[in-house]
């Protein structure tokens, strides 16, 4: 059964594991008795996160490893996979979670686009392509969880590089799940985590207190862990501000732009503001 990947002594690898949703996930996995590897850019933050996990893991430091990784570099992912295999024997759960959001403009610096797409999209592609073959060959049930975003589905104006990267994560993860379920004997499933408004270093924007509308990373991970055994592919998280019915209407409206041949991003077009407001108010 797939939930065996969440059983004690299974092995979880979490990229972007030194903070935010990644650290919350690694902490939850460690507390559940999994052996955990967190991968993130090196430095004090990574070592401090590992020390926090030592106190949660039943085996202490023996059940935790931390590995400096730049997920935009395929060679770093190959080194990570080999290190986890040598230390723990293989991987049962891979969470491609590393992400950046420095902000972007359509005609802004190319370096911003390169970094966002390198980490957010290529990091997911590299991680999945490097780890999945060994996970399949291992013959055990397992999960590959890729962290997407609602911005990759409704693509609001304001940060095009981030939207492009997360839209790519959605498309890639859908293709990955099709590939896995079409592979004879494969016991690995892919899942797209779609967080709501989560208060993390990525979203803080200078704030030190969690806004009332946001969930904590721990709430997001709790929701994810509840939905994985249920088999959800699209793990669409609510928050304290937006309910699932509202998310569903926003997503349906975005798809309707194509079907109804409306202007691109019509939700933010003045000629369609009233129509969207009326549509979004419906939850039937």
Catalytic residue among 88, 122, 143, 162: 162
116 and 22 share one domain: yes
CATH code, domain carrying 206: 3.40.50.720
Cβ 131 vs Cβ 13: under 8 Å: yes
Q: So what's the pLDDT on residue 211?
A: 83
**Would you state the torsion angle of the CA atoms of residues 224, 225, 226, 227, taken in this order, to the nearest 10 degrees?**
50
| pTM for the whole structure | 0.95
273 and 146 share one domain: no
Nearest to 272 by CA among 258, 262, 259: 262
213 and 154 share one domain: yes
- 86 has pLDDT over 60: yes
More confident residue, 281 or 153: 153
Q: For residue 88, what are the domain limits?
A: 2-240
Q: pLDDT (tens digit, 9 = 90+) per residue, 221-232? A: 999 999 999 999
247 and 226 share one domain: no
125 and 210 share one domain: yes
Our count of domains for the chain comes to 2
**Cα separation of 144 and 179, whole Å?**
12
- 204 has pLDDT over 70: no
- 282 has pLDDT over 90: no
β pairing state of 234-236 and 188-194? parallel
Q: So what's the pLDDT on residue 284?
A: 47
209 and 120 share one domain: yes
Q: What is the mean pLDDT of residues 102-124?
A: 96
Please say if 162 is a catalytic residue: yes
171 and 190 share one domain: yes
């Amino acid at each position: 059964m797939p939930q065996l990947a969440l059983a004690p002594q299974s092995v979880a690898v979490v990229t972007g594991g030194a903070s935010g949703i990644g650290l919350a996930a690694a902490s939850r996995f460690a507390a559940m008795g999994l052996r955990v590897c967190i991968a993130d850019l090196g430095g004090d933050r990574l070592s401090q996160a590992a020390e926090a996990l030592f106190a949660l893991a039943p085996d202490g430091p023996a059940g935790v490893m931390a590995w400096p990784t730049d997920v935009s570099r395929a060679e770093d992912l190959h080194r990570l996979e080999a290190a986890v295999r040598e230390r723990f024997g293989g991987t049962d759960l891979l969470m491609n979670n590393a992400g950046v959001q420095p902000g972007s403009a359509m005609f802004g610096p190319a370096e911003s686009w390169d970094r966002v797409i390198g980490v957010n999209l290529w990091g997911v592609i590299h991680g999945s392509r490097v780890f999945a073959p060994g996970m399949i060959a291992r013959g055990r049930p397992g999960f590959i969880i890729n962290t997407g975003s609602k911005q990759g589905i409704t693509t609001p104006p304001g940060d095009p590089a981030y939207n492009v990267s997360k839209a790519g994560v959605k498309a890639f993860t859908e293709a990955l799940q099709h590939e896995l379920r079409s592979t004879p004997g494969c016991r690995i499933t892919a899942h797209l985590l779609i967080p709501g408004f989560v208060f993390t270093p990525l979203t803080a924007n200078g704030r030190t207190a969690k806004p009332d509308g946001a969930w904590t990373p721990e709430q997001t991970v709790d929701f994810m862990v509840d939905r994985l055994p249920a088999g959800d592919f699209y793990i669409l998280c609510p928050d304290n501000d937006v309910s699932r019915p509202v998310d569903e209407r926003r997503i349906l409206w975005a798809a309707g732009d194509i079907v109804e041949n409306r202007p691109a991003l019509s939700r933010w077009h003045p000629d369609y503001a009233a129509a969207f407001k009326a549509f979004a108010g419906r939850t039937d």
